[in-house]
Amino acid sequence: MSIRRPPPAERAASRRIVAAFLTGAAGAVGFAVTYVLGGDTRWEGVTLSVAFAGLAVGLSQWGRHLVPTGGYVEEHEGFAPPPFEQTMTTRALTAPDSPVRRRGLLAALGLALTALGAAALFPLRSLLPFDRVRPVRARTDTPWGPGVRLVDAGGRPLRPQDVPADTMVGVFPEGHVDAGDGPAFAVRLEPGRFSRQPSGGHLDGLAVWSLLCTHAGCPVRLYLRGTGRLLCPCHQSSFDLLADARPVAGPAARPLPGLPIEVGPDGFLRAAGDFTGPPGAGFWSRP
């Protein structure tokens, strides 16, 4: 039995279908790459649209141009198809020139579906609890560490004399001024007034604590000079810096984590380690 060569119209349709499936596969790969590189939602939407559009166009073209159609009407549901319809269907599915058996089309469709399925696994990974302690670890590991210099908002390194007596100065880890869990503040108090030593220690009264309130993570910026008290403007939690920044009013339940500091060989203030506890909202520490 000789194999019938498809007419030019069918060959052109086959090429369009393959191109559509390959476009869908490229869109799926682009979605996966965009997700891995940071997840820009605009480009994720574009690439995912291209993936589904490629599949939709390829399948619609396949059904329109390569699958036999006819105006056949059955009198009643449930009757078996007429013999000529059965013969036509069998030929369409099993004949050597059947569009269903064209390897190029099936391979392109398989590639598009496989690429789309693989791309769907990337966002699925974010939903699975492979690491249940990740939020706690993320709050525990901050940009602070031994040797990291304390800088102001402009990135200028600070010396001990840059923190006047009874004055609050915002400080940040050098190179990570914009880090969300890095903001801290330095304040110089009279060492003899401490009823509880700062958890991070102090240098002749100079101590550093996290700037993030342990209730909801708001910045505690209101310092009441002379009292050693620090107030959170969001929910009015108050912290006593003379007692290691423990909360004395409001909903906060944890003291502000302290930051151990030292003076480096260059005379600038440096961290001697990370915060003594997770900075920010207290619910991150709950099991």
Q: Which residue has the tokens 């100079």?
A: 206
Residues 73-105 have pLDDT tens digits of 666 666 677 777 777 777 766 666 666 666 677
Tell me whether strands 229-231 and 184-188 are parallel, antiparallel or unpaired: unpaired
Residues 198-249 have pLDDT tens digits of 999 999 999 999 999 998 889 998 998 888 899 999 989 999 999 999 999 9
Two structure tokens written together for 241: 């810096």
> What CA–CA distance (Å, rounded) separates 208 from 79?
85
Under DSSP, the state recorded for 154 is T
Residues 47-71 have pLDDT tens digits of 999 999 999 999 998 888 887 766 6
> Which CATH number does 135-287 carry?
2.102.10.10
Under DSSP, the state recorded for 199 is T
